[in-house]
Every structure is written in C-alpha cells, then in structure tokens.
C-alpha cells in the first residue's frame, strides 16, 4: 500500500490528519479504514465510517489543502428520518450505500445518531450534482427515508460553514 495522505498520527491527546499528497494517498487511507486498519478511536462502532472526531480533523486538513492548492470541496449531509425511530439496520444500510456511491478520494462519516456526511474533495458543481444523484438513487432503491443537503466550500468561510449549511437546508427528500 502507499503512504496515506490522511494518515492519522497521535500527538499528545490530539490526533491530526497529515496530508502528504493528493487523491491516491487519500484512497489508501480510505482503503485502510474500509479494511479495518484505522484506529478504533477514529471509526463509528456501528457503521465503520469515520466518527465525528476524525471527521473534524479531516475537515481541518482538507480546508488547509484547499487553501494551499486552490481546490474546491463540497459537503453532502444525509439525515435519516426518525430520530429514535431509525433502526440500527437502516443506519448501517445507509452507511454502506453511501460509502459505495462516493469516490475513493472522498470521506464519509457518521457525525451523530442519524446523520451521515460526505466530504467530496476536488469537487466542481457537476461533480456535486452527480454525487447527489447517485446518493439519492441508491437510497431510493433501498427505501431509506432521508433528507439530503449539500453545500460548496467557500474560500472565505471554510468547510465547517459548508457542513452547517448542508445540514441546515436539506432540499431533497428520499423517497
């Protein structure tokens, strides 16, 4: 395997995401996560996706990369219907479906009980539209009821703002 650009390293109590390259390195990191080689503290126990702590570190590192190289990134937020009603099976199904529909270079995390977020790296508007269509299609096929929001990273606002916007306005409903 190649060196991971989002290789998680511990520094005291803080874990940081360290980037050493481009998409191929992120793919290696995502493969490690899928293969179970990421630290258990970085993954959600139920879904195997990144957890909110790892997600926040990834957003910070991606923001820095976007600033440095002028890349664009987008956030998709998927809120599964029913706060306590969303079954564990439905959450796992949605996680598998979403992870299968995004590119290797992208990141997927479960940030709270019923919310799965996707960081689409190096994402232009056409890429965002295609990703949104793929996620809507796969969730519809699996009868996963959800609301979906999205936002592009604005250079002056960053990815944390894009995530808040994606979660605030969820114009798409599945099914």
Say what the pLDDT of residue 26 is: 45
Give pLDDT, residue 34. Answer: 42
Does the pLDDT of residue 63 top 70, yes or no? yes
Q: What is the mean pLDDT of residues 64-82?
A: 93
* pLDDT in the model for residue 4: 31
Residue 131 has φ and ψ, to the nearest 5°, of -65, -45
Q: Is the pLDDT of residue 15 over 70?
A: no
Q: Are strands 73-80 and 115-121 parallel, antiparallel or unpaired?
A: antiparallel
Q: How far is CA 27 from the centre of its chain?
A: 13
36, pLDDT greater than 50: no
Instruction: Please give the average per-residue pLDDT across 125-154, as a whole number.
Output: 93
Looking at residue 150, its pLDDT comes to 95
């Amino acid at each position: 395997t190649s060196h991971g650009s989002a290789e998680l390293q511990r520094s005291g109590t803080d874990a940081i995401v360290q980037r050493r390259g481009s998409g191929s390195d992120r793919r290696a990191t995502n493969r490690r996560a899928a293969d179970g080689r990421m630290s258990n503290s970085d993954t959600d126990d139920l879904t195997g996706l990144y957890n909110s702590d790892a997600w926040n570190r990834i957003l910070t590192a991606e923001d820095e990369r976007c600033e440095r190289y002028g890349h664009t990134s987008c956030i998709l937020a998927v809120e599964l219907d029913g706060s306590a009603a969303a079954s564990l099976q439905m959450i796992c199904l949605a996680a598998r479906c979403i992870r299968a529909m995004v590119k290797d270079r992208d990141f997927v995390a479960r940030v709270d009980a019923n919310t799965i977020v996707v960081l689409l790296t190096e994402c232009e508007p056409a890429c965002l539209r295609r990703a949104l269509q793929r996620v809507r299609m796969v969730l519809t096929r699996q009868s996963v009821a959800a609301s979906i929001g999205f936002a592009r990273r604005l250079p002056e606002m960053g990815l944390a703002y894009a995530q808040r916007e994606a979660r605030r306005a969820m114009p798409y409903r599945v099914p």
